[in-house]
Amino acid sequence: MDRSLRLAQQPDADALLSRSPLAALTGMLLDQQVPMEWAFTGPYTVATRLGRDDLDAHEIAAYDPEAFVALFSEKPAVHRYPGSMAKRVQQLCQYLVEHYDGDASAVWSDARDGGELLERLNALPGFGKQKAQIFLALLGKQFGVRPPGWREAAGPYGEEGSHRSVADITGPESLEQVRAYKQKMKQAAKKAGAKTGKA
């Protein structure tokens, strides 16, 4: 499938995300508590440090845990929390090996409907409901993975024309729109928190 993601805003890293289901899944896993571009550059950094042009779930699942943490911690670090995130990426790959023979795309390739796909994503280590819904929306909007009811299963992230998450980012302009939306949500949450604090 011909697709061109723009999540890392770095050509080589984006090319890997576009062609590798495991890289996209790993980028989504890393997308917390760091800027999005940093998170989605992570899979490319890991592949490069492993001397590969793609990630291999079998290789990562079997990798020595301490050596994998060291690989994440090398400067520049793959994530703000290299130790815990290296562990999570390994857990994700171990789960994929155990349940999907190491093939990340098997998570979604034969899902009967959006509900089943959401359940499968939600079961992945490191994926809560929100992360699962955002990745489902990304699959539908940018990977063309659209089982019946996928938009409903993705919740607000599945809405057409929205700018809520990485699922909606196709370039610098939409990145700014998503950032503005997140900023607005943060301010609203702060305001709500202040009100309840006073009560």
pLDDT tens digits in sequence order for the chain, 199 residues long = 446 788 988 899 999 999 999 999 999 999 999 999 999 999 999 999 999 999 999 999 999 999 999 999 999 999 999 999 999 999 999 999 999 999 999 999 999 999 999 999 999 999 999 999 999 999 999 999 999 999 999 999 999 988 888 899 888 888 889 888 888 888 888 888 876 654 4
Helices 114-122 and 129-142, packing angle to 10 deg: 130
Residues 6 or more apart whose Cβ sits within 8 Å of residue 62? none
Q: CA 22 to CA 3: how far, in whole Å?
A: 15
Residue type, 167: A
Instruction: Give the global pTM.
Output: 0.91
Q: Which two tokens stand for residue 124?
A: 């992945």
Q: Which two tokens stand for residue 69?
A: 């943490």
Residues 6 or more apart whose Cβ sits within 8 Å of residue 100? 106, 107
